[in-house]
Structure 1
């Protein structure tokens, strides 16, 4: 990991105090390089992060009694309780020159302990309006963004399918994410078992990792597919680091989650000019446009009948599907580029430095 040699130019510290990969960790991994490209001068602190990210050493904490060049304090950007608490100790007990910012993605009422910590932040970010509604302190909504260059439409969708070893003559509907009950993978499979037999020009793929804890769930889904005689048309393709290539092979994406904190997959699909059918969880209703300028459809969570009907709407209407996909690409490129997220986060930093709430 490239440790910074001079902390005087570091304006923001992004601590990551959990080794296990999570959505929070993924946010740090994706956002920090963009923040630095925009001149925000951010370093990470803690384990479980890629070698390429700029980082500070633990001993560099001693530098935090001194403000960075040209500023009155540094930003300590926490995303978990275990990162808020050290920030409070560093600022309030050790009197280091820090302003504390917290990002919340939770969609439930916080515990008393979390509320205690959040109340001591100089700035609070909510990742969606729904998340904001659960916070009892003033906050700013800054929604996650994605790399719209990485997730982009193919020049030729048939060629994109062939590149993934899929039949270029088939239309493809996909469901990406960890294979488990929470993610609604079973709802997707059951919908496809209902829809595909009468639509021989369509196939489906499930892409994502199955952990040992959910192996029996995965095995049951495969048995259902085999019993329906669809093993050649509902494919389990596993986890892929180049998932952007698989989005380009799709004609329709379904996000069937029963619960989600935020959920980036609809953005990744729409950025690839693929319309989306999604359940009304996480930030999905705030990401997808319905109605006249639709980029997809929202259905009630865990409602298999509604999800099947929404999927049928797009499977059977090529022009509607293609128009929604084109609008989805423009929608994401305009509103959800990751540079927009970095700029929004930086505005919260500036507010905190200018005397934001504490």
Structure 2
């Protein structure tokens, strides 16, 4: 009786385990079927790739002048605003050159004032000589008339030879004074022309000096290096007191104003239905629970391998056909504050609808 009861309980337990196993297996099969169907439907409707990364402009901060680093006003990975001071270079030498250029410009302007004063003086002198010419001309005319009268009297033997010689001498003096006045007037005009030519040369020199001053001002301004746009600083390569050269890279800055995008490398067999302006879904590995969106900006004009340092040459005879990758640039949409969390180089998964236009 006891053995019969034990066998009955065992059979019930086996049947229960069998039922549970069947139910669990059925649930697993159903879940796998649903997952498989959803995966197939998704792959049928979308083109996907995980060969994609977030990208943005990372530009070097470069020195424009040579000098010693006086101070560094940023830390690595610091957020900065456009116009924030990043590095200050000792400007003592450049400031002295700037003062020298300013002094040279003032000197050139002062010389122009002197020349202008000379032009004014020569103009007044020319007026005086012109008046003297008129007076000398009147005196010469009077002496010529006097000479004509005495000549007639002398011919008529009504005047002596002494009187005639005296009149001739006076006429010669009057003619000489007239010619001297004309020469003095012409000399004054020549001085005016010379002064004006000199003034033009000085005005050209002033423009050159002004250009030098502007260049010195720019050089001094270059000793204060500021952030060219809003962004985030990267690794710095300098220390205070270090001698830097013009053109040397001081640090790197991530440009936030230019926005962010994703470069997705799709297989050549995946891009036939893609077009500019199409919406893409983006899942970043660092934020698996959040989906970003973007729009296709452009498709590369060549495969990625063609832009490599050593493009492949299939004319060697050892050819193996491999599906090539086409870089697709996708502009990220969304609030800039939300996109700040995404950094260049982050891996992402991209999904693009196969819907035809």
- Shorter-chain TM-score tier: under 0.3
Of structures 1 and 2, the one with the larger relative CO (CA 8 A, separation 6+) is 2
> Under a length normalisation based on structure 1, what TM-score does the superposition of the two structures give?
0.15
Q: Which of the pair has more CA radius of gyration?
A: 2
> Under a length normalisation based on structure 2, what TM-score does the superposition of the two structures give?
0.15
Which has a greater percent of strand?
A: 2
